[in-house]
Amino acid sequence: MKLLKKDVSAKDGSGFVSLLPTTPEDLWHTYNLLQTGDRIRCTTLRKVSKESSTGSVTSSKVRMNLTIAITKVDFFKDSLEVRISGPNSAESAHVRMGAFHTLTLELDRQFSIEKDCWDQVYLDRLEEACNPEKGAEIACVVMSGGLAHVCLVTGSVTVTKARIDVNIPKKRTGSSAHGKSITKFYDAIYRAILTHVAFDKIKCILVGSPGFQKEDFYKYLLEESVRRDDRPFIENKGKFVLCRCSSGHKHAIEELFLDPSITAKVTETKLSKEIEVLNRFMRLLDIAPEKAYYGYLHVQKANEELAIDSLLISDELFRSSDVVARKKYVALVESVRERGGTVYVFSTMHVSGQQLQQVSGVAAILRYPMPDLDDLEDIAAAHEAGLVEVGEDDEELSEEARKLKDDARVREDMADMGFSFE
């Protein structure tokens, strides 16, 4: 992403930036920068009808600059497109004020984003997007049977470049159908890698499968590359790393990063660090749950006690249309950083981000055990019942919430004495 112009007020954070996306990942960053209520300006095509003096109507497509107030923004991960809808919010010779229009952001097309407040999370995302050292770092191939996925793993997105599905019949005496299908399957993967993997940019190509299929494919790749004289394979064969995974489905990619044999290859990539800290959090939930908590109430309380070592948070929370909710999580991120904690923002385009989203989207690894945080379960239950808002202290609970909390404790004490509520 090229930053063409930036004018953001240091006082209240209002202002605009002009950007030029140059890679597909830039469009994912753009999606994360946009929010309902923002204004975006770029060139677009719109059908314009004109009526002549004789009453005849002619229509033509006109390219124009248009500014719209965003009411809806969508990201299509398969085509890597960002579509934005909203009413026209600036004077135009062809489009009346308030008329709705849909923009599709494209590569190498300049656009400007104007916000009432560029908070720190937005500014961090902008800096990451404009970092020239970013890009696809790893290519992954997972296969099993006749199913394979060839993907590129960038700092924020796992992009599926090819899905290969070949029907492989069972081995039968006197039949060559099995062998021919295997060769067809391997050839399809070979061609997909050659087409979609830029060997001069990536650090390694991870090849995973259950059993010995990965070894068989790698042998096929080496032999075919020599026979066909495909220099990219011959010159970069040292970048291929064979790993074990359970299937050929896309979700198996995460298993590749758990293999110790590839640590040296990917230890400096953003994704590997995120997966490492997520795995550490999951282990602590099992062996030391008093040092690992998830959910806003528990994490916020731990932050107030200066106990957070690592904060894990999903970028989905920053795309909330609820401005108050978004500010709440932005404030949490800024507070943790100010207090010396490390913040990991997980992309929901990765499997790791999707896993974090399943446990509320926000979690924390603590510097020291805090078993007292378990008492917040009653407050959380009261909040979910709509009896108290997030952030209120225990003594500020409403009378209904306090009753709910007391009833829960009474039931727990009676259960300890042998009473049953079934």
Residue 422 inside a domain? The answer is: no
The count of structural domains within the chain is 3
> Quick one: three-class SS letters along 36-97?
CCCEEEEEEEEEEEEECCCCCEEEEEEEEEEEEECCEEEEECCCCEEEEEEEECCCCCCCCC
Taken in order 22, 26, 31, 32, is the CA torsion positive or negative?
negative
User: Which of the residue ranges 141-150, 167-176, 339-348 has the most confident prediction, judged by mean pLDDT?
Assistant: 141-150
Spatial separation of the C-alpha atoms in residues 383 and 386, rounded to whole Å: 5
Domain-terminating residue out of 265, 292, 316: 265
Residue 421 inside a domain? The answer is: no
Residue 420 inside a domain? The answer is: no
Residue 292 inside a domain? The answer is: yes
Instruction: State mean pLDDT over 311-335.
Output: 86
Confidence band, pLDDT 50/70/90 cuts, at residue 260:
low
- Does 125 lie in the same domain as 144? no
- Does 148 lie in the same domain as 121? no
Is a pLDDT exceeding 70 seen at residue 394?
no
Residue 248 inside a domain? The answer is: yes
- Does 119 lie in the same domain as 142? no
- Does 157 lie in the same domain as 85? no
- Does 231 lie in the same domain as 166? yes
Residue 194 in tokens: 């050659």
Residue 418 inside a domain? The answer is: no
Domain-terminating residue out of 129, 153, 187: 129
DSSP 352: H
What digits encode the pLDDT tens for the residues 8-45?
Answer: 888 888 999 999 988 777 888 888 888 888 999 998 88
What digits encode the pLDDT tens for the residues 263-311?
Answer: 555 655 566 677 889 999 999 999 998 999 999 999 999 999 999 999 9
Burial of 299 (0-12, 13-18, 19+ CB in 10 A): buried
| pTM of the predicted protein model | 0.54
Spatial separation of the C-alpha atoms in residues 31 and 25, rounded to whole Å: 10
pLDDT > 90: what percent of the chain? 32
- Does 393 lie in the same domain as 361? yes
Is a pLDDT exceeding 90 seen at residue 421?
no
Query: Is residue 205 within 8 Å of residue 141, measured between CB atoms?
Result: yes
Is a pLDDT exceeding 50 seen at residue 404?
no
- Does 300 lie in the same domain as 167? no
Q: How far is CA 171 from CA 168, 181, 182, 418, in A?
A: 9, 11, 11, 62
Q: What is the mean pLDDT of the chain?
A: 81
Instruction: State mean pLDDT over 348-355.
Output: 79
User: Which of the residue ranges 18-32, 44-58, 374-388 has the most confident prediction, judged by mean pLDDT?
Assistant: 18-32
- Does 331 lie in the same domain as 399? yes
Q: Higher model confidence: residue 378 or residue 327?
A: 327
pLDDT of residue 396: 43
- Does 345 lie in the same domain as 226? no
We report the CATH number of the domain holding residue 361 as 3.30.1330.30
Taken in order 350, 362, 309, 374, is the CA torsion positive or negative?
negative
Instruction: State mean pLDDT over 244-255.
Output: 87
Is a pLDDT exceeding 60 seen at residue 133?
no
- Least confident range from 5-19, 31-45, 67-81, 401-415: namely 401-415
Query: Is residue 192 within 8 Å of residue 164, measured between CB atoms?
Result: yes
Is a pLDDT exceeding 80 seen at residue 414?
no
pLDDT > 70: what percent of the chain? 82
Name residue, tokens 């805090």.
370
Confidence band, pLDDT 50/70/90 cuts, at residue 383:
low
Q: Shortest CA distance to 346 belongs to which of 293, 408, 410, 278? A: 278
- Does 289 lie in the same domain as 254? no
pLDDT of residue 416: 57
Residue 98 inside a domain? The answer is: yes
We report the CATH number of the domain holding residue 206 as 3.30.420.60
What digits encode the pLDDT tens for the residues 167-199?
Answer: 998 888 777 888 899 999 999 999 999 998 888
Q: Higher model confidence: residue 215 or residue 409?
A: 215
Q: Which residue range is the domain that position 182 belongs to?
A: 138-265
pLDDT of residue 332: 93
Domain-terminating residue out of 244, 265, 286: 265
What digits encode the pLDDT tens for the residues 196-248?
Answer: 888 887 878 999 999 999 999 999 999 999 999 999 999 998 889 888 899 99
Q: Higher model confidence: residue 16 or residue 393?
A: 16
Residue 374 inside a domain? The answer is: yes
We report the CATH number of the domain holding residue 122 as 2.30.30.870
- Does 313 lie in the same domain as 283? yes
Is a pLDDT exceeding 50 seen at residue 132?
no
pLDDT of residue 371: 81
Name residue, tokens 């492989």.
168
- Does 285 lie in the same domain as 195? no
